[in-house]
Structure 1
């Protein structure tokens, strides 16, 4: 029994472990499950390996029925692109005002982070899916109000789009964004709400934040004229976010660039391939 989980990863880990065993096992979850789409992704991912996970409401909670074991598939598997990484790439193109696509990521993906396309449209970008994959075109032009409870890994990218809008906005109301559903971000590799708030404030933006939200609005343009070093606190997703912000604001540097190796070791090279100017500087002690 899993009571009041703080992350969907707790349940996903248990489900995968139980799926390795033959026969039938059960996990009961009591309390709200954060980031539920990631558990749906876990359920989809075990199916090609011969296991199944079914869920039903029972006695005030959800019961997950796990049928194993996991077996090697008879045929090679095609793994689709990671949607959270694809969101970073698509956002980079959008902030630069260009057009780009990630083939292989479709609207039928089990990944909840495919909703980046929907969120990008909320910021005024043209974005969608076609038979080949996901595409985006044009810069973000307006602030957005997004509930990211189901896909919190998109929050850093959404915050970067919000920052790009706020830095360019002529009217405060049109340049203000509100991101909610962020309660799980405080328990990630860093306190992502605080880290984002601190970094975006250094860009001269007006940033409000609480236990589960970020509000990003235009601020004092004069405060953003000096070179700024943004510290991702060793968190790969914070480094991605600050790199995206550097495409919208001049003289922005990202400390500890090597932290991206956790999920995307070639990130800086790939960003340069997209047309960004990436330089390495030694920070003064």
Structure 2
């Protein structure tokens, strides 16, 4: 399947209700289960990753296929390790290529019983759930924050609690802080001093919970505002005091001509004339924004140097290689180094006459590239329904904003 995207000719004035945050929704589901809460989670995400989590919690079987849902794989592996019974968790072909050994080895050290069913270090997994001892554990601060969050959320249920020593530089700190902030709302506090996080044995308290809209999803509308000639876009459900690291997008887009006005129920984006000559940023705390900024900077002719991208290699696809390949189709030569840096110095190449953007089973590839249609006659996106992973009605919202989405 392919979608041909054509940009509107008129200014973009629209109001969009963004999807709920996938990151918050999936954490909330784990914390709801751990607290045995009877209360609902309001504004729960309806994306694929969250649907998978719900299916697992409502399932009568002991075998779970979570597809391409990376967050669900990490969180559920930790959660199931403490639930009595025998469980099997697997996923898509790509999921079975994404390493999970760091989390599994940490859990086994803390008293879990997890083994690999196919390739060492990768899903599928066989989990024999039981009470966990807990205690001290040492992990690199450079691992995925989802591994760390998975351990933190089950830490209060461990007999000795958990003392997590993070060695070296800690990446994606906002996601760890988001987890701890949500745990505190469910009644569990922690101590975080230097690189040591200590959580004592405790019981979560059941509470009702409201999920904020997704700042990652908002980034694509910031991109649309930046690439348009004239725009005023209202985005519903975003909080100014947000626990989401990707809320940084509001600050970063000031240098690409987008101003953010915070309202009680969301934000309003307006177009300005402020454009940086070159953009420098370390994305260590917000790696999911990298694809958006690579595309929009190239389309605006703004050279960039982006660092802190080491986790992009192990996402839904190798996002560094995917960005280089697809931007080349549009005539932009991007270079990478040290598996963590992307740079564009303005170098161009001959673009393909009718480029088709491959999405690599990666929702963010589709949504990051779609706004580029504003600077092109049109743009074709292959396998466009990958967006259901986090923003199921993205294409409908584009149409609402005046884009033509031809199937």
Q: Shorter-chain TM-score: which interval?
A: 0.7 to 0.9
Q: Identify the match of residue 44 of structure 1 among 161, 173, 181.
A: 181
Match of residue 245 from structure 2: 112
Aligned pairs for 1:1-285 (under 5 A) are 1-4=137-140, 5-20=142-157, 24-57=161-194, 61-66=195-200, 68-73=202-207, 76-96=208-228, 97-138=230-271, 141-142=275-276, 143-166=278-301, 175-210=302-337, 211-220=339-348, 223-224=350-351, 226-280=353-407
CA distance in 1, matches of 2:392, 2:200: 34
TM-score by length of 1: 0.84
The structural deviation recorded for 1:220 is 3.9
Residues 277/66 of structure 1: CA separation in 2 closer, same or farther (3 Å cut): farther
Work out the CA distance in 2 between the residues paired with 1:37 and 1:275: 34
Q: Secondary structure at the match of 2:288?
A: helix
Q: 1:191 to 1:225 in 2, by over 3 A?
A: closer
What count of residue pairs does the alignment treat as equivalent? 266
**Residues 19, 122 of structure 1: alpha-carbon distance in 2 compared, 3 angstrom cutoff:** farther
Task: Compute the displacement of 1:92 (Å).
Answer: 2.2
- Residue 169 of structure 1 corresponds to none
Shift in Å, 1:25 = 3.2
Tell me which of the two structures has the higher relative contact order, counting C-alpha pairs closer than 8 angstroms and 6 or more residues apart.
2
1:195-243 Cα deviation digits (max 9, x unpaired): 111111111113122211222344447x236110111111111111121
Contact 2:320 2:336 in 1 (8 A): yes
- Is contact 1:125-1:136 (8 Å) kept? yes
The CA distance in 2 between the partners of 1:257 and 1:20, in whole Å, is 41
Q: Report the alpha carbon displacement of residue 109 of structure 1 after superposing the two structures with TM.
A: 0.9
Using the size of structure 2 for normalisation, the TM-score is: 0.60
**Distance in 1 between residues matched to 2:275 and 2:209, nearest whole Å:** 39
CA contact (8 A) 1:180 1:212 kept: yes
Q: Are the structure 2 counterparts of residues 93 and 220 from structure 1 closer, same or farther at C-alpha, using a change threshold of 3 Å? A: same
Whether the 8 Å CA contact 1:247–1:276 is kept in 2: the answer is no
Q: Given the superposition, is the C-alpha separation of residues 279 and 216 from structure 1 closer, same or farther in structure 2, using an over 3 Å criterion?
A: farther
Structure with bigger gyration radius: 2
Q: Secondary structure at the match of 1:113?
A: helix
Question: What's the counterpart of residue 172 of structure 1?
Answer: none
Q: Secondary structure at the match of 1:254?
A: strand
1:153 to 1:2, Cα distance in 2 relative to 1, 3 A: farther
Note the C-alpha offset of 1:176.
1.1
SS at match of 1:127: strand
Secondary structure in 2 matching 1:27: strand
